[in-house]
Structure 1
Amino acid sequence: MQILKSFFILFLIVTLAGCAEKKSVRSNQYWRKLVSGMNDIGRICRLDEPPVKILTSYDRRGGNDDFNHYIGKTPDGWWIIADLHGPGCVTRFWNTGTPTNHKFRLYFDNEKTPSMEDTIINYFQFNKYFIPPLITHEQGCKYSYIPIPYKERLVIATQPAGTKSGNWPRLFYQINYVDLQPSNEIESMNVNCSEEDKEIAAKISDVWSGKIKYAFETRQEDYHSQTNIPHGSNSDLIAIAGPWMIRRLEIEAKIDSKSVAETERQFRETILRIYWDNFPEPSVETPLGEFFGSFQRRINYNSIYLGMTGNVFYTRFPMPFAKSCRITLENRGKNNAEIQTRLWGENIITGACGYFHAAWSRSLPQDIGKAHTVLAAKGHGRFAGCMLDVTSMDNSWWLLEGDESIRIDNEAVPRWLGTGLEDYFNGGWYYFNIMARPLTGLLFKSPFRTLQYRFHITDPVIFTSAIEMKFERGPDNASRGIMESVAYYYLDKPQSAAFQLGDADSLTPPPDPLEEISLMNCVLNSERLGDYFGAENRIAEFLETHPQTPAKDILSLRLLAYRERRGDKNVIGEYKKMVQSPDVSKQAVEQAKLLSWLHENSANALLASFCNSRVTVYLDGKKIMQADNPEQLIVAPINVNKGTHALAVSATWSREEPWVYLCLRTAKGDIPTGLGWKRTRQPGKDWEKVDYDDSAWETVDRISRDIPVFPYLKVIPNAFVGMQSAGGGMNMAEWNDKRDTIYFRKKFKIE
């Protein structure tokens, strides 16, 4: 489903900026306690936290119009979207679909005048107090994890939406909250946050982002093993006695194969199992790569609980146990594997902690008419989050329009009814950009496949006897596709994983009928994520499985460019050999010349253009190139000496989904388009020259979706590593007139 732009985040931004009306004398001591508690990422295993509830704008008629639904009106006609009776706390707020001047109100404790009435534009005015990842504006929406406690009552109201054609603005929202036990220490939040309050929130951001390490991560591992696992065999990696709590698990695998495709496949064909307290069945049973978020191929990324650094998978899910822990791997692949396993942990186990479980699930196109089940489990426990990989077989993104539901304790109607697949993962509008955040992320997007994750740390999904978590297969479960997931959850005692893996055929990766067209999309995805290892590996795998591809020479040249990026100076000589070879394609020779020429003089530079609009590009007032091709990167050699310079571009609308993307590569680094550039519709004379005063121009504060934007799928391969992924595409709001020309500028200095 679709995602919305959050008016609530504004409240948080303004709150942190201390710009609200100073009418409250509340101390915020309780708020500080709540925020400080977010430091403890180990709390996700506790079963005694208050269960989260949710209010959303889901379609009450069961359709796909998950917007503009409200529960009442204020005396002056504003829509009430939440009326929460305390004590309680809002733990997450997500929203999209409203303009920046849309107003909202927050009423605490039956007050007649709201503690805040403001517009979303304040989000931009006070962005110096923006504290990602606690408050973030991305993927076409805004969301916040900053807690909003209320002692007696909290009412959230907004201006009416749906007043224009097509029911726009479309107000989408999700509000997670928990009920709290009455206590004298609970007080409603004081929206006039102090500097101390902001510092506390900023520390949480550093912890969640990994800038601040936990004590157990700063010392040598507690357990280490090296295990050789022949193909077709099972082996124990580690067996330890309890009581103990695993706080970090690392697994590093070396596959004995020269084939890139076989190596990547083997991470899917190697099965991870974990057993607790001598229970005969594994509580964790998933493909090794998929457990750590690397579906189909390895992905280097970082999140709060899972990731991969270099060749090392890691998890920081806490795993307490009373008697014993045994971790095993089954090697179903064709090759032998050498495994390094490292564990960090502690003896302290406090509170009602559960046993960690994880289960892999898969549904196929023939399952049309039925939702994909992420988790179906019985007992007392907590759902901690999931990875979800979605591949459409209909050549469309309609599969992402399906909603999630969570049914607790066999209730007749699920208490959690979502507004769309991407919305659950803090995204929207079929996603904008690849990114990995602490609690949510989009690790892959290419026509027509997405890989996303979410973890529930401050919004605990607690169940007493049963849980069922599902995603629709598009509206009415009518979309054909393959959905694969890993559910992470805790139970009060060890049980077998919710789903058991079948035979080898069940692990066959989903087909990619658009593989050749979308190859460069996949490569650029990896680069934007910072996973240059994955980008290089993907090209090597493609060349192995498509040896006759017409792009063979260009892709081979790009592999050389990745080696150069890793610091291999010998590559310059290999560029020159390709230039002189009669067997290399003309296109590869031309690009090899440019890559070689770039290193001949420190003033040499390359200017690249990738635009879906008619552009003319200038450097210091001199016209460099004209372009208009949504499939191809155009590159020109130029000279850029020391001093101040200006890149300038005029762009005229030529077709749907316009964007402008440039990247200037110099000896001092890349200068791509993106945030901080200037734009206008009405430039003055000599606007393209260095000394032109562009201070009155608007500053670019948003970038487009990752380019190319649908419906443009193909990107012609090239050898210019990083030049197509360094920044973002630029456009202009309401840029839909073929006569309309937008002007962009960027001043920069070469030292």
Structure 2
Amino acid sequence: MKRLGNIPELPVYLPDSEVKQFSSYDRSGGNDDGFSGKYSFVRKNEKGHLVIFDASSSGVIERIWTPTPTDDTLDFYFEGAASPSFSIKFRDLFSGAVSPFVHPLAGSKVGGFYSYIPIPYKDGCKVVLRGEKLMFYQIQYRTLGAAYRVQSFSGKTTADEQKLLRRVAESWADEDPTDISWLTKKTACIENELKLEPGKTLSFASLAEGGRVVGVQISPSRLFEGAYKQVDLRITWDGEEQPAINLPIADFFGFAFGSRSMKSKLMGATDAKLYCYLPMPFDRSARFELVYRENKLLEGQPVLSLKTSVFYTAEKRNIKQEGKLYAFWNSSQPAPGEPHLFLEGNGAGHYMGTLLQSQATEFSHFTEFFEGDDKTLIDGAMAIHGTGSEDYFNGGWYAQPGGWVEKLGTALHGCLDYSLPFSRTGGYRFYLTDKIPFNKSIQHSIEHGPEQNNRKVWYTSVAFYYANRPVQINHPPQNETAIVFQPDTLTFYTRLMQHLTYNGNIHLRDGSAVSEGADNAAMNISVAELQKGKYKVFLHQVKESDGNVEVSLAAGREPSGWKKVPLKDQDCYLGEIEIYDPAIPVSILFKNSDRKSLRFNRVMLVPYK
């Protein structure tokens, strides 16, 4: 429980322990990661109930996640007991109604239900769901060697444990992530006011003796917004040949597609400043730099006026027990059939955080790339196999009301952004208690698409880990990859997210919009996410037709005149509109004079370049 609130211990290794996971992933390699329930249990017991977790020896369950909790009872059997040692309704792991599963250490956000309350067990644990069906789930746990003293979970807490629980919960719920009142009197600060010119590199902190950085703040945060990520953060420990951290500053602090987004407990961006409180111990020296890349596509790059603060102590790294902080940045378009790699390499340490921006580069499959599973191989063996991308970030149900559809997060995890028209989303997750140790190697990746990495994407990720040396070398950011991809087609889907509303002789049938008969019909498109400007308008028919339809377009001003549109092409060009105010929906009026049936499943707006 103490580790839930102990950020200073993030660099500390957990020897003789392994992190593994039980989950409902499709063992056949398909996408049935919980829909049917076929893979959502280890086995059935003699009563027909579902055994969903079964581990021998000692360990601790560190994370439980599902988007589909039920009122069925969960029974926890410890130490080979014949009867349950602890029972609880599955839903009450997350409701906050049953101690010690209190908010926000357990709860729900963006469609997912999660619990980080540790459930230790000695000499084995079995978890049984008293029900006939379970859908999606993940139970992440840590095996513990003989040196660890373990007492099995009882559900009961002492007065001291309740006090600790309240203190940690209050810390997670703190809404001011830039508060530094926790700094001790032993903390010193290097403050600077800088003028950063294009093409220049400036050092904003340099330490010549061993110690540890405990906080970094940079302001104002607005300077790093926009599609062009021209400023890099570069951090080097102990004179190493390669920087430990070398990536666009916007990506390091959790921006999403050019805008401030993440406000986690550990790092992020407020309206005023960037902040990071990941502990950074080092042995002999530390150097913090800002690199301002020139870009020929940008005229008149401004000089940036910045304020920086680096908080540090003289406490040197314990070389045997702690790692140094490293971050690996990967902005790329993975080949079809190949996953996106968060981190891959040889060495020893532990993994503790992921930031991801996911962008489709084709625009007919909405955000279906987020069906992809995460996979983690530790020392050459599969340790964790997830059930979907939003699941990895403790969310659920992208493109569904109440689900993974908005920028929203918690202290450790959340959604960075979601836009169906732009075919993009992103998430963040930090591993506080559940950091993943590796002794020889790690391969941590995520798929892009329902099966076989079959969706074209551009993924940008940051992987955080602690180690004695880098596991994978960062290449310096280049202008070509340190940029926000701009889709050339903005797509609205008839069955998703209610961007489209219908009036008159048009209605939704089996996921498609259908207009039949000669009566007039109207469809409104919410364009609040779009910029002002001119757009070409297309609709995608379910299949080609031999008729015509008359169309009139409007965007808050006088509608265009009626235009006869042939339906011989599956993608029908309707005309052009100019959006003057994105708060005003675009309207498409139809007259089906041929009395032919018009059936379509998406509308596309293509901006003029």
Counterpart selection for 2:289 from 317, 324, 328: 328
- Equivalence map 1:359-378=2 (5 Å): 359-364=328-333, 367-378=335-346
8 Å CA contact retained: 2:221, 2:274: no
1:422 aligns with 2:390: yes
Cα distance in 1, alignment partners of residues 84 and 67 from structure 2: 22
Name the counterpart of 2:112.
141
Give, as a single letter, the amino acid of the residue that structure 2 aligns with 1:175: I
Give, as a single letter, the amino acid of the residue that structure 1 aligns with 2:226: E
8 Å CA contact retained: 2:414, 2:428: yes
Q: Secondary structure at the match of 2:452?
A: helix
Give, as a single letter, the amino acid of the residue that structure 2 aligns with 1:408: I
Counterpart selection for 1:512 from 465, 480, 487: 487
Name the counterpart of 1:462.
437
Q: CA deviation at 1:322?
A: 0.9
Name the counterpart of 1:353.
322
Name the counterpart of 2:45.
74
Cα distance in 2, alignment partners of residues 385 and 197 from structure 1: 27
Counterpart selection for 1:52 from 7, 12, 19: 19
Name the counterpart of 2:233.
272
Name the counterpart of 1:530.
none
Name the counterpart of 2:419.
446
Q: Secondary structure at the match of 1:205?
A: helix
- Equivalence map 1:573-722=2 (5 Å): none
Between structures 1 and 2, the one with greater strand share: 2
Q: CA deviation at 1:350?
A: 6.1
Name the counterpart of 2:76.
106
Task: Identify if the C-alpha distance between structure 1 residues 84 and 263 changes in structure 2 by more than 3 Å, giving closer, same or farther.
Answer: closer
Q: Secondary structure at the match of 2:155?
A: coil
Q: Secondary structure at the match of 2:5?
A: coil
Name the counterpart of 1:115.
85
Task: Identify if the C-alpha distance between structure 1 residues 41 and 510 changes in structure 2 by more than 3 Å, giving closer, same or farther.
Answer: same
Cα distance in 2, alignment partners of residues 498 and 184 from structure 1: 34
Give, as a single letter, the amino acid of the residue that structure 2 aligns with 1:176: Q
Q: Secondary structure at the match of 1:251?
A: strand
- Equivalence map 1:182-197=2 (5 Å): 182=146, 185-194=149-158, 196-197=160-161
8 Å CA contact retained: 1:281, 1:496: no
Give, as a single letter, the amino acid of the residue that structure 2 aligns with 1:156: V
Task: Identify if the C-alpha distance between structure 1 residues 501 and 77 changes in structure 2 by more than 3 Å, giving closer, same or farther.
Answer: same
Task: Identify if the C-alpha distance between structure 1 residues 292 and 442 changes in structure 2 by more than 3 Å, giving closer, same or farther.
Answer: same
Cα distance in 1, alignment partners of residues 463 and 145 from structure 2: 30
Q: CA deviation at 1:185?
A: 4.7
8 Å CA contact retained: 1:399, 1:481: yes
Name the counterpart of 1:208.
172
Give, as a single letter, the amino acid of the residue that structure 2 aligns with 1:456: Y
Cα distance in 2, alignment partners of residues 124 and 468 from structure 1: 31
Name the counterpart of 1:478.
454
8 Å CA contact retained: 1:92, 1:146: yes
8 Å CA contact retained: 2:350, 2:438: yes
Counterpart selection for 2:351 from 369, 383, 393: 383
Task: Identify if the C-alpha distance between structure 1 residues 712 and 307 changes in structure 2 by more than 3 Å, giving closer, same or farther.
Answer: farther
Q: Secondary structure at the match of 1:90?
A: strand
Q: Secondary structure at the match of 1:485?
A: strand
Choose 292-301 or 496-505, whichever is displaced more: 496-505
Q: CA deviation at 1:122?
A: 4.9
8 Å CA contact retained: 1:362, 1:482: yes
Q: CA deviation at 1:514?
A: 5.1
Q: Secondary structure at the match of 2:310?
A: strand
8 Å CA contact retained: 1:284, 1:496: no
Task: Identify if the C-alpha distance between structure 1 residues 491 and 224 changes in structure 2 by more than 3 Å, giving closer, same or farther.
Answer: same
Name the counterpart of 2:363.
394
Deviations 1:280-318 (A, max 9, x none): 221111111111001332315421211112231111111
Give, as a single letter, the amino acid of the residue that structure 2 aligns with 1:338: S
Cα distance in 1, alignment partners of residues 91 and 20 from structure 2: 29
Q: CA deviation at 1:428?
A: 1.4
Give, as a single letter, the amino acid of the residue that structure 1 aligns with 2:245: V
Q: CA deviation at 1:372?
A: 0.6
Q: CA deviation at 1:151?
A: 1.6
8 Å CA contact retained: 1:58, 1:66: yes
8 Å CA contact retained: 1:56, 1:417: yes
Between structures 1 and 2, the one with greater helix share: 1
Name the counterpart of 1:40.
6
Task: Identify if the C-alpha distance between structure 1 residues 251 and 317 changes in structure 2 by more than 3 Å, giving closer, same or farther.
Answer: same
Cα distance in 2, alignment partners of residues 245 and 713 from structure 1: 54
8 Å CA contact retained: 1:254, 1:338: no
Task: Identify if the C-alpha distance between structure 1 residues 271 and 211 changes in structure 2 by more than 3 Å, giving closer, same or farther.
Answer: closer
Cα distance in 2, alignment partners of residues 229 and 200 from structure 1: 45
Deviations 1:426-445 (A, max 9, x none): 01122435312111010211
Cα distance in 1, alignment partners of residues 259 and 5 from structure 2: 29
Name the counterpart of 1:90.
61
Give, as a single letter, the amino acid of the residue that structure 2 aligns with 1:178: R
Task: Identify if the C-alpha distance between structure 1 residues 296 and 126 changes in structure 2 by more than 3 Å, giving closer, same or farther.
Answer: closer
Identity of aligned residues (%): 26
Q: CA deviation at 1:472?
A: 0.7
Q: CA deviation at 1:40?
A: 0.9
Give, as a single letter, the amino acid of the residue that structure 1 aligns with 2:312: G
8 Å CA contact retained: 1:285, 1:497: no
1:127 aligns with 2:103: no
Give, as a single letter, the amino acid of the residue that structure 1 aligns with 2:417: F
Counterpart selection for 2:404 from 409, 412, 432: 432
Give, as a single letter, the amino acid of the residue that structure 1 aligns with 2:198: H
The unaligned stretches of length 5 or more in structure 1 are 1-34, 162-168, 257-261, 525-538, 551-584, 588-630, 634-710, 716-751
Q: CA deviation at 1:73?
A: 3.0
- Equivalence map 1:238-317=2 (5 Å): 238-253=205-220, 264-266=226-228, 268-317=229-278
8 Å CA contact retained: 2:354, 2:464: yes
Cα distance in 1, alignment partners of residues 78 and 222 from structure 2: 59
Deviations 1:586-631 (A, max 9, x none): 89xxxxxxxxxxxxxxxxxxxxxxxxxxxxxxxxxxxxxxxxxxx9
Q: Secondary structure at the match of 2:33?
A: coil
Q: Secondary structure at the match of 2:10?
A: helix
Q: Secondary structure at the match of 1:415?
A: strand
Q: Secondary structure at the match of 1:399?
A: helix
Counterpart selection for 1:174 from 126, 138, 142: 138
Q: CA deviation at 1:420?
A: 0.9
Higher relative contact order (CA 8 A, sep 6+): 2
Task: Identify if the C-alpha distance between structure 1 residues 154 and 515 changes in structure 2 by more than 3 Å, giving closer, same or farther.
Answer: same
Q: Secondary structure at the match of 1:377?
A: strand
Q: Secondary structure at the match of 2:167?
A: helix
Name the counterpart of 2:577.
none
- Equivalence map 1:212-227=2 (5 Å): 216-217=182-183, 222-227=189-194
Deviating above 4 A after TM superposition, structure 1's stretches of 4 or more consecutive aligned residues are: 121-126, 211-216, 218-221, 253-256, 514-518, 539-543, 546-550, 711-715
8 Å CA contact retained: 2:230, 2:293: yes
Task: Identify if the C-alpha distance between structure 1 residues 465 and 193 changes in structure 2 by more than 3 Å, giving closer, same or farther.
Answer: same
Q: Secondary structure at the match of 2:166?
A: helix
Cα distance in 2, alignment partners of residues 145 and 502 from structure 1: 35
Q: What is the TM-score of this pair, normalised by structure 1?
A: 0.60
Cα distance in 1, alignment partners of residues 530 and 198 from structure 2: 24
